[in-house]
Structure formats: C-alpha cells, structure tokens
Chain A
Amino acid sequence: MDLPQVLSRLAESAAIALRAEAASVYLLDDSGTHLSVAAVHGLPAELLNRAPQPVQSCALDREALTSQSTVIADIQDSRAELCVPLIHAGKPLGTLHIYSIQSARFGEHDATRLRPLADLGAAAIALARRVTELEIMEARKAEFVHVATHELRSPVTVAQSLVRSVLKRYASELNDQQVEVFTRISRRLDFLESLVNDLLDLAAGKASELAEERPVSLNASVGRVMLLWQPRAEEKNQAMTLDLCRDQLVVRGTEEGLDRILVNLVGNAVKYTPPGGSVTVSVQRVDGQAQVAVSDTGIGIPKESLPHLFEEFYRAPNAKKMAEVGTGLGLSIVKDLVERYGGRVQVQSTVGQGTTFTVTFPLLSANTP
C-alpha cells in the first residue's frame, strides 16, 4: 500500500470503528509547524486542497499533540469531535479526527478504543514514507549507473577502434614488441567493454519501469541463443545439443531479458568447458512450469563458491584461472532477471565433471503445434 492508500484506510477505519459519520487525517509538515488535510472520509474531497494551517491556530490538534492524548470536544451543542495524536517512535506525525453530528457523542471509552488504531496508523504512515524514500533512492542509483555506463562506453569503443586499426597494420608496419603491447591493450579494452555492457544490463534490469513484460516464446529464445554461441563452440570442438519439447512454451518477460538470461548461461557453459567437451540445453514442461536446463561437461563449481555464485563481481577461483574473459556480473544479471519474471534458478555441479543450471518459469501457455 502506498501512503495515500494508508491514509485513506486510516480515516475510513476510524470512522467505522466508532460508528461515526466522518473522519479526517492531518499530517505535520517537515518543520512540524503546519498541519495539512491528508485524507477524508464522509467529507467533501475539496478539503484536501485546503492550505496548510499553523498548528498554533488549531486548538484541538495543538492540545492533542502536546498532551499526547486524545481530546474530546463538543461544539455548540451541535457537533462532537474527537482528536487523536498520531505518534510513532516518539515522533509526532499528525492527528486523526473523528466527527459526529450528535453532540456529546464521544466519551472516554471511544478514546480508549481509538488508541491502538491510531498507533497502528502512525506506524503504517512511517513505513509507507520509508518505502517511498527507498524507491526514490533506488531509481536514482539505477539512473546514475545507466548514465555512467553510457558515458564509459563511447571512449572504450573509440579506443578499441584505434587499437584495431594499428594492430591490423593500417597505420604502419609493426615490430614484435609493438604487436605485443597493442594486443595487451586490446584485450584490456575488450574486457572493459564487456564490463560496461554487463553493468548497463544490470542497471537496466533494476530500472524495472523501462521494461514492459509480455508473453514471450521460450523455445524461440533458446533457438536464437544456441545460434549465437554455435561458432564459438565449434572453434572449441564442443558438441552442442538442443533438446526442445514439441510444445511452444510461452512465459512472461521481455525478449531481450529472456535472451540475456540464456546468453549468459549458455555462454558460461561454452566458456568454462574445455575443448572437446559438450553443452546440452533442454526445454521441458515440468509440473506445469517451463523449465530450461543448461548442462556442460566443464570445470564445475567448487562447493565453497556455490553460496556466492550469484553475487555481483564474484568469480569462482577455477574460473579465474581459465583464460576466458569474465566480469563476474553474468549470473547476478541472470538471477535478477529470472526473479523479475517470477522464476527460480538452481545449480548443481561437480568439480572436474560439469555443471547444470536449471531455470524454471511460471508457464503462461503451451501451444501444441
């Protein structure tokens, strides 16, 4: 529930609890000197547009807040009003008013009745505000990473373009030393490029408003990804096997996101399996869910690494020893995306034998061809 909903529920619940005609919630501003109408029940909505009032001029509220107890008022024998302070962790947040057209309607027992509701209401208000704060912080962080990585990308690709022109002898002939130096520079730039792209993916994943989820074909995604990694697997003389179930499994997500999950998993299988090994991808319907399993006969994952596997920048010690480039972000991106789409990712591995990553998604539909 967001703050407006919390406030509205509080006003409503209070009126109902006391069987009163109307209720309203007032909130203090940051300086604690002015009160504004934040929610109404049984009263015209225009009240919400009223200008903030100094606490000093609101007798009831002032009394309720300073005494930290409920105040009951009978107005000119025609109305009754009850005012409860909303206090959380010692900090005053505002006041809750209950109204009745019957004078002398409210008594001490009503005040007692309202106390727990007011306390809960204050706690809910504090919590809702905190959640909003955190959401804003999260959005700002994601925006920052997004902008920073775009800024990083341009100089990296330009530097790579320059280095490649030189390495291919388009600037001049090169001696062995120069080739070595430029090759090393080029490798570092390639790594930097991977890192920037991964960071961009991670940040884009966290900015969830950007991605509109819809039904996506799992089978099609797997097919695309296998094609992408086939050349590299062939280079390493690896056997790539695809075991697709006949039904077209449709899951909720984005094409880009689903491709990304599979690119990373299949890519890892190819990268961390020595030449001559094999990589198998299977897509099945299991227990009414869509399941993708990526298996390899690769170096495996040590037991100690398993708890850290999905952490950002983590790379297992045996993976680091291999000549393959890795940023350590691939699996954290996979986990982020899989969970975003309502799925789960699990891993089973034996060092020196191989690894299987299993991703399960809720099934939207399965179309039998």
Chain B
Amino acid sequence: MANKRVLIVHDDPDMVTALRLTLESAGYEISDAGTSQEGLQKVKERAPDLVVLDAALETSADLQVSLALRNPAPQSPYAAYRHIPILMLTAPHTAASLRSGPEEAYLPVDDFVDKPIDPNVLLEKVRSLIL
C-alpha cells in the first residue's frame, strides 16, 4: 500500500521542517509549497490525502487555499479535490483558548492544531483526518 501523502502549505521553511520531522517518521510522504498559489498547483499535481494550511497565511494571502478547494461551483477547477481533508495550524492567543473556536472558523477546514505544535497532537489529528 502506498504511503499517504500530505501537502504542507507554509511560508516558513523552519515550520515545514518541524512538521516534516514528525510526519515523515510516522511514514507519511511529505511535499510542501511556500505560497497559496504554489499550494493549489501542487494539489492538482499530487492529489494529496491531506492538506495542512496555516491560519496566518490563509487570512493574510490574496488567495485562500481552503476557499478555492472547497468552492462549491460544479465547474470549479478544484472540484476533483474538494473532498481532501484540510488541517489548519492556528496561533491561539492565551485568552482566546477560552473561546470555543478560533476566529478562523469561517474558513472551510476540518480541524485545527495549535501552535507551537505538539507532535503527538499533530499525528493524532492527521491520523483521524486521513481515513
């Protein structure tokens, strides 16, 4: 059985390294993209089993990967990839951890992981999203 593929869309190569270390040792095949545009391109090229996004990048970029992938229009160029689960990294403010959900809840993602990343929490969430 081929390894499951995870695509990481993140503009910080150090964060990509941190994620890679954990995910690769757990057997996942990792590819990464430094911008939202590159990320969408790689989704088409590689059809990953999971996409990891960063809340800061998603909310500040001109293009939102999550919105593009989940575009409900039947003629959307990403229609074939609409089903791919999306995990989003978020930086909770200390008081915000008291709230039931991050402000990024309006973006169509399936689960969230707080930064700094606890590798075990990351793996647990990835495993439950890649069925």
A→B interface (CB under 8 Å): 153-154, 156-162, 164-166, 168, 170-171, 189, 193, 197, 200-201, 224-225, 228, 256, 259-260, 263
Contact = CB atoms under 8 A, between A and B. Distances in A.
Interface residues of B, number: 24
A157 B54 CA distance: 13
B22 A165 contact: yes
Contact of A224 (B17, B19, B98): B98
Contacts of A193: 116
* Contact residues of B: prevailing secondary structure: helix
B93 A164 contact: no
A162 to B, nearest CB: 4
Interface in B91-131: 91, 93-98, 115-120
Of A161, A200, A225, most buried by chain B (CB within 10 Å of CB) is A161
Given A161-B117, A201-B94, A256-B96, 18 more contacts: A157-B91, A158-B15, A158-B18, A160-B115, A160-B116, A161-B115, A162-B21, A164-B118, A164-B119, A165-B19, A168-B119, A168-B120, A170-B119, A171-B21, A171-B25, A228-B97, A259-B98, A263-B94
B45 interface: no
B62 interface: no
A260 B98 CA distance: 10
A158 B98 contact: no
A237 to B, nearest CB: 24
B38 interface: no
Contacts of A160: 115-117
Contacts of B15: 158, 161
Interface of B: 12, 14-15, 17-19, 21-22, 25-26, 56, 91, 93-98, 115-120
Contact of B116 (A164, A168, A197, A259): A164
B16 to A, nearest CB: 10
B93 A200 contact: yes
B6 to A, nearest CB: 14
Contacts of B116: 156-158, 160-161, 164, 189, 193
Contacts of B26: 170
Contacts of A200: 93
Contacts of A162: 14, 17-18, 21
Contacts of A168: 22, 119-120
A200 B93 CA distance: 9
Nearest to B22: A170
B53 to A, nearest CB: 15
9 contacts: A158-B18, A158-B116, A159-B14, A164-B18, A164-B119, A170-B25, A189-B116, A260-B94, A263-B98
Contact of A158 (B12, B21, B22): B12
Contact of B115 (A157, A197, A256): A157
A168 B23 CA distance: 12
B118 A259 contact: no
